[in-house]
Structure 1
Amino acid sequence: MVRFCTRYWSVIVPLLAAVLLALSWGHELGPVMVTLVTAALVGAVLSAVHHAETVAHRVGEPFGSLILAVAVTIIEVGLIVTLMLSSGEKAASLARDTVFAAVMITCNGIFGLSLLVGAARRRIAVFNSEGTGAALATVATLATLTLVLPTFTTSEPGPVFSASQLIFAAVASLVLYVVFVMVQTVRHPGDFLPVEGSAEGDIEIDAVADHEEPPTGRQALLSLGLLLVALVGVVGLAKLDTPSIESGIAAAGLPQSAVGVVIALLVLLPETIAAVRAARRDRVQISLNLALGSAMASIGLTIPAIAVASIWIEGPLMLGLGATQMVLLALTVVVGVLTVVPGRATLLQGCVHLVLFAGFVFLAVSP
């Protein structure tokens, strides 16, 4: 029995998470159920990574890294909209806090961790500067249009867009995201593929995973289905944990914006683990595709969805960042450009991004 569970854990865990989600939905959770939900959440994250890697191996790059980023973001959007509809004015800034947290986590946390792991293995992490630079430029444009401009517009009081401005931001975000996906997958896919070789040529590359037989079409379809089930479990169980998170944050005297940070951290766990695994296999480009692709999808899909949902959401929709957040975003973009342009990075660049991420987390809990 133990051997059976060990072999088929990636099938059993998502199904158990879905069953637990169905049984717990709409009920107040006691301490025991909170513990079970948390354990199932961790298991769903690990199984999501496993199935995402299986699907990615079957379809190849750059489609593989795109699948996990889009799947996670679509369900993240559902979580944000659900919480905003249920919480009303209390969640006016939830979309902004979660999207900004996702950008900082991906562009500094996942980005820096991938560079650190890649450089630690081969002393220098190499990647394609053309594709990575294009992705970073798109993320910077999306973040500025949707998160920075609302602070300075004057049509509406406060850091909010007017109806017409929100429509423009939503359409522009969706157009930029669709064009980027077309460039990544159709026009210039080579710009987003791993770069072979580095200056440290005497270090042997562990490329066993690259030579494994890809899964069959049936296995890939099964993994795709289980990936969706696992991701639904991740976001659904995270939503069940949200009241406990909110009460814990309130008891600790932390600002309400910390809720968005915690939600983004939970939802982005599968991509973080997948990115680190790719970096350990000397596939740093795949890690960066995941990081920047997730940031781009988080803005490009969330803002249009929020614009549509604003028809039913009561109260203002606060999208504009504060001064501290804008400084962190500007510093992230500048440092990211300096990191990407050479097409290679050392431990230093990875540590710089991780320190920026640590600064974001610290200022989120202690503004």
Structure 2
Amino acid sequence: MLRFRLKPTKEQEQKLFYTFYLCRKLYNQALEERITYYREKGISIRYTDQQNQLPTWKQEHPEYKEVHSQVLQNVLQRLDQAFVNFFEKRARFPKFKNKFMFRSITYPQARARYFHENQVYLPKIGWVRMMAHQPFDAASVKIINVKFHDGRWDVNLTYGTEAVVSRTEIQNAVGIDLGVLSLIATSEGEFFENPQWLQKSEGRLKRKQRQLSRKKKGSKNREKAKQKLQCLHDHVANQRKDHLHKISRSLVDRYDLICMEDLPVTGMMKNDRLAKSIANASWGKLATYLEYKAKNAGKHLITVPPHYTSQRCSGGCGTIVKKNLSVRLHQCPTCGLEIDRDVNAAINILHRGLEIRHQAS
């Protein structure tokens, strides 16, 4: 996937915001319909049922003729996926969206003719200026996603079929241990800091939240305060993403095999004392970045079970040395090894990864 900056005109920007409004209205209406239908009849509405109702919806609401049909179908697909995530216990029950929670639209069937020089064609919107900072294969782009965040417009281009990249022969490997104090500790003793962007901006976020709470509901000042708060949240998210991208790129460029823990992040988030720190570390997002970067570069990524990686001695004796989170030094009474506990865990992760790869081959 590639992301480029968009530079829509004021007229195009108004059309995009109006499209967001209509799509959000459809999403909320479809969600209300599902809830009401289940309460009255005890059965759920399927995506295909709601999709088949779109022509009737357009007749009853002529303004929806200004929105591309595939964009509307994608809105219903988002809602359907939200219910799938809920039933599979991967997310909470879908909730109604406000204007700050619905800020993107998707064209799921892009065409090569939608791109011309530094422009992208968005049906019902027109040709929009695109700041393409690198070349790309327009014929391979299958999905176009337009998003507004942090006061700017971006377009995400997704390729339908990825080119097969030959795997690199493994000459060097590394194990990485994910943490809160240090985001990553490697088996070679290198540490990547955890900047804790959320904690650093917490004071400003609280002030913005208090300013928002004092504004009169429905007023323009409240709307402005809400936008400022949202921009600050976006800024923190962008800082976090940028840091994770740099770390993942550094690891993929230097190592042919990366071994990491397969952590149960969802279960760990239930710990009230660590939930905020774990969420701010974004271990899941880092794993995603490593996975697709390694795949594109022909490198290897292996996830291993995390059991006893911190407790087991990596010096060769395999002794289990129990210690709580406050103990930062691994001291083995059997072989006398003294090493940082996170580095010890990273070495164990590397050993397990190499074992798994050997067994697979």
Q: Work out which structure has the larger RCO, using CA pairs closer than 8 Å and 6 or more positions apart in sequence.
A: 1
TM-score category by the smaller chain?
A: under 0.3
TM-score by length of 1: 0.23
Look at both structures and tell me which one has the larger radius of gyration over its CA atoms: 2
TM-score by length of 2: 0.23
